[in-house]
């Protein structure tokens, strides 16, 4: 039974629905990525610069405000073993374990034990991925520099226009824009809301691609996942990050401007993660990226700090890994639109077919706004034929 976008999905069995809803609530109670993102980043840079770029103060983080031990007990007490369907049981058990490891990340923040939990969740840096990253840094040359002529007002206006476009099509489309005074990233989606750094300055040509990265992928897949019987597709099945981030980066290309510098930054994140895994600190990573690989001081510092979040957050390697694996999927003729039914891993593709056949998952209600652009199909066709190292555009689309 295939369920179209406008048909009702089949409800989950009672125990499965109970566990699914509980996992959804718990996923929303702890914003682990925010809790692992350092605050007072301007002070970090100022003190690093004042030291002659040789030292950095210790990271400061937001307070957790949650009893992690009690949360873990509630999580592990869920009756996953009683879920009626073995198919659903496997997916919910996998998600239960992932949430447990995320709690461990927060609990072990800043300790020697953090790195093990990070590798368990996101893996380390495999040799083939490191080789690809180094190839990109060696062969892909930066494009002509662009003025950083767009600030927070322009980015907010672009995001609001996107939200209005989606609400015209689906009145129930729900997401907020939050202007944040101390954000480790320029833009990020957290719990379905778009956070924008108040001090953001980016090239005007990058505004739309970055909005499409965040809204067209992360917010849209969350919206479509919210409409499924299996609500884990809203917050994300286990190990969904590589596909989500690969799809988000591809969206920048499909929106018309993924510059070579962006691809180089994804490669630099892999190199930085590998160095952090070997206990190299921010100054060493910074100097490698800035002096050996030619990243700007701002980009090199940002990538170095991200790699050392919590101790060594290996999540940053998933962007290039996810893009590589997504292109391999597309090279083999993989369906594009199905990637937006919710948040899942490419490894879940076969299981997703079964969920659709069982009537628990429907086709996506929304596709990203950039997909309505007349050139998007041609750009996707090209992406199906080129290697990762060629997935960039030297100039913005007209």
CA dist 384 and 368 (Å) reads 19
Does pLDDT of 390 surpass 50?
A: yes
SS3 track for 308-322: CHHHCCHHHHHHHHH
Q: Please state which of the ranges 2-6, 316-320, 388-392 shows the lowest mean pLDDT.
A: 2-6
For residue range 269-279, list pLDDT tens digits in order. Answer: 999 999 999 99
Per the CB < 8 A criterion, the answer to whether 1 and 360 are in contact is no
DSSP-derived 3-state class of residue 60: strand
For residue range 38-52, list pLDDT tens digits in order. Answer: 988 889 999 999 999
Q: Tell me what pLDDT residue 3 has.
A: 59
pLDDT band, very low/low/confident/very high, at 310 (cuts 50, 70, 90):
very high
241: tokens are 């990050």
DSSP-derived 3-state class of residue 177: strand
Q: Tell me what pLDDT residue 4 has.
A: 62
Q: Buried (b) or exposed (e) across 80-114, using 16+ Cβ within 10 A?
A: beebebebbbebbbbbbbbbbbbbbbbbbbeeeeb
The chain-wide mean pLDDT, for the chain, equals 94
347: tokens are 């490894």
Beta-sheet strand order (sheet of 187-190): 177-180, 193-197, 187-190
Per the CB < 8 A criterion, the answer to whether 133 and 320 are in contact is yes
203: tokens are 């090239």
What residue has token string 């891993």? 345
In eight-state DSSP terms, residue 150 is B
Q: Nearest-5° angle of CA 78, CA 109, CA 133?
A: 100
Of 22, 115, 107, 116, which is closest to residue 67 (Cα–Cα)? 107
Domain boundaries, the chain: 14-390
For residue range 238-293, list pLDDT tens digits in order. Answer: 999 999 999 999 999 999 999 999 999 999 999 999 999 999 999 999 999 999 99
Q: Tell me what pLDDT residue 34 has.
A: 86
The total number of residues shown for the chain amounts to 398
Q: Tell me what pLDDT residue 1 has.
A: 39
Mean pLDDT of 192-200: 93
CA dist 230 and 17 (Å) reads 8
In eight-state DSSP terms, residue 299 is H
Q: Rounded to two decimals, what is the model's pTM?
A: 0.92
Cite the beta strand spans of the chain per DSSP E. Answer: 177-180, 187-190, 193-197
CA dist 224 and 365 (Å) reads 6
Does pLDDT of 183 surpass 50?
A: yes
CA dist 398 and 396 (Å) reads 6
């Amino acid at each position: 039974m295939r369920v179209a976008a406008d048909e009702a999905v089949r409800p989950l069995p009672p125990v499965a629905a109970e566990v699914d809803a509980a996992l959804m609530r718990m996923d929303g109670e702890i914003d682990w990525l925010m809790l692992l993102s350092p605050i007072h980043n301007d002070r970090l840079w100022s003190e690093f610069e004042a030291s002659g770029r040789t030292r950095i103060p210790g990271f400061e983080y937001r307070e957790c405000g949650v009893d992690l031990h009690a949360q873990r007990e509630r999580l592990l007490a869920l009756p996953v073993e009683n879920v009626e369907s073995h198919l659903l049981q496997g997916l919910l058990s996998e998600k239960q374990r992932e949430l447990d490891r995320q709690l461990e990340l927060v609990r072990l923040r800043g300790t020697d034990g953090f790195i093990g939990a990070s590798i368990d969740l996101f893996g380390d840096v495999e040799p083939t991925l490191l080789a690809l990253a180094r190839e990109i840094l060696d062969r892909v040359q930066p494009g002509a520099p662009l003025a950083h002529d767009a600030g927070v007002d322009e980015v907010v206006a672009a995001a609001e226009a996107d939200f209005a476009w989606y609400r015209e099509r689906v009145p129930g489309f729900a997401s907020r824009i939050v202007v944040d005074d101390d954000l480790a990233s320029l833009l990020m989606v957290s719990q379905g809301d778009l956070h924008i750094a108040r001090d953001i300055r980016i090239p005007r040509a990058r505004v739309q691609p970055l909005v499409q990265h965040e809204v067209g992928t992360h917010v849209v897949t969350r919206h479509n996942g919210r409409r499924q019987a299996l609500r884990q597709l809203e917050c994300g099945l286990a190990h969904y990050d590589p596909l989500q981030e690969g799809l988000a980066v591809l969206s920048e290309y499909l929106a018309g401007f993924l510059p070579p510098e962006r691809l180089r930054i994804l490669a630099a994140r892999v190199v930085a993660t590998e160095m952090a895994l070997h206990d190299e600190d921010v100054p060493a990573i910074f100097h490698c990226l800035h002096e050996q690989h030619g990243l700007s001081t701002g980009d090199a510092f940002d990538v170095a700090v991200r790699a050392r979040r919590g101790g060594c957050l290996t999540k940053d390697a998933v962007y290039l890994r996810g893009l590589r694996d997504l292109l391999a999927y597309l090279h083999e003729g993989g369906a594009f639109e199905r990637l937006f039914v919710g948040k899942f891993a490419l490894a879940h593709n076969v299981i997703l077919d079964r969920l659709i056949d069982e009537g628990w998952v429907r086709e996506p209600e929304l596709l990203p706004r950039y997909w309505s652009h007349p050139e998007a199909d041609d750009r996707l066709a090209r992406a199906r034929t080129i290697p990762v190292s060629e997935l960039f555009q030297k100039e913005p689309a007209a």
